[in-house]
Amino acid sequence: MSDRHMICPPKHVAIIMDGNGRWAKARGLPRSMGHRKGVEAVRETVRAAGDLGISYLTLYAFSSENWSRPEAEVNDLMGLLKAFIRRDLAELHRENVRIRIIGDRTNLRGDIMPLLLEAEETTRNNTGITLLIAFNYGARDEMVRAMRRLAAEVAAGTMSPDDITPARVSASLDTSGIPDPDLILRTSGEERLSNFLLWQAAYSELMFLPELWPDFTRETLIHAIERFQRRERRFGGVTAPSLAVGS
Ligand code: IPE
Ligand code: IPE
Ligand code: MG
């Protein structure tokens, strides 16, 4: 199969990149080595997703709950993310990648968020694949922030409670304007969402892969998409919309 623009690739693929620690442990290495190798998998995946014609790729980089990890590991992850942006931004920009950050942007010390926002700003007019980086992201936190904004509008009298519709809620989330993920992948065999895109996942196809994230390659992605393409999505109806007659 050609890896250049598959027929009807999913428009939006979201990935819970899990298993860096176990990858390292299996080799008798420190967890940090797993994270390092994980960044290489990120590089390969972003390029592969663009080549395959995917329009939006969301990567779960750091959750709002990951702050509970040992300080040294948190620092290590921050350092790697910063190094990734510093090293890869120019090339991503050249490749027409549009970066978008989702997650809570407030109350973060250090230079990580300014760097991420600069990447977002630099690439905002690019027209290639949109890479959403979920950083300091938790779906419940995202929903609470959205609810507060909507509640504030109602309290201010600029909106009525009846104006709160699913579309309005979607537009109030960090992913505003981005179509819901068609496919959510999680590596490392864990079968849970861990507070990722809970609202947006309403009709996503979920796929749990045994591979640990550092072992994820272009081929793993292609194989997952091929499996996705064999799934029948019904959205509550009785037949796949693409097969429905007269609708
Ligand atoms: C995923 O790998 C990376 C992040 C959560 C940032 P883990 O660090 O969770 O690896 P495991 O799950 O311990 O193997
Ligand atoms: C989810 O992985 C978060 C990221 C991939 C960034 P975790 O490893 O943090 O999830 P749990 O703790 O196993 O649920
Ligand atoms: Mg994990």
Cα 24 from chain centre: 23
Closest CA to 179 of 194, 198, 200: 200
Rounded distance from Cα 212 to ligand 2 centre (Å)? 12
- H or E segment and range at residue 79: helix 71-94
Q: Which two tokens stand for residue 71?
A: 């300080």
* Residue partners of 170: CB distance under 8 A and separation at least 6: 176, 180, 199, 200
Atom of ligand 2 at shortest range from CA of 18: 5
Cα 37 to Cα 17, 44, 51, 63: the distances in Å are 12, 11, 22, 19
Q: Can you tell me which atom of ligand 1 is nearest the CA of 66?
A: 5
Per-residue pLDDT of the chain (247 residues; tens, 9 = 90+): 456 778 889 999 999 999 999 999 999 999 999 999 999 999 999 999 999 999 999 999 999 999 999 999 999 999 999 999 999 999 999 999 999 999 999 989 899 999 999 999 999 999 999 999 999 999 999 999 999 999 999 999 999 999 999 999 999 999 999 999 999 999 999 999 999 999 999 999 999 999 999 999 999 999 999 999 999 999 999 976 665 554 4
- Domain extents in the chain: 12-138+178-230
The residues whose Cβ lies within 5 A of ligand 3, an ion, are 18
CA 46 to CA 48: how far, in whole Å?
6
Question: Known catalytic residues?
Answer: 18, 66
Q: Which of 25, 39, 140, 194 maximizes ligand 2 atoms within 8 Å of its Cβ, making it the mutation to test the pocket?
A: 194
Ligand 2 site, CB within 6 A: 16-18, 60-63, 66, 190, 192, 194
The two counts, helices (H) then strands (E), for the chain are 7, 6
Evaluated on CA atoms 222, 50, 179, 243, the torsion sign reads negative
CATH topology of domain 12-138+178-230: Undecaprenyl pyrophosphate synthetase (3.40.1180)
Residue 21 alpha carbon to ligand 1 centre in Å:
5
Q: Nearest Cα to 179, choosing from 95, 100, 65? A: 100
* Gap from CA of 64 to ligand 2 centroid (Å): 10
CA of 176 to the centre of ligand 3 (A): 27
17 Cβ closer than 6 Å to some ligand 1 atom: yes
The closest ligand to the CA of 63 turns out to be 2
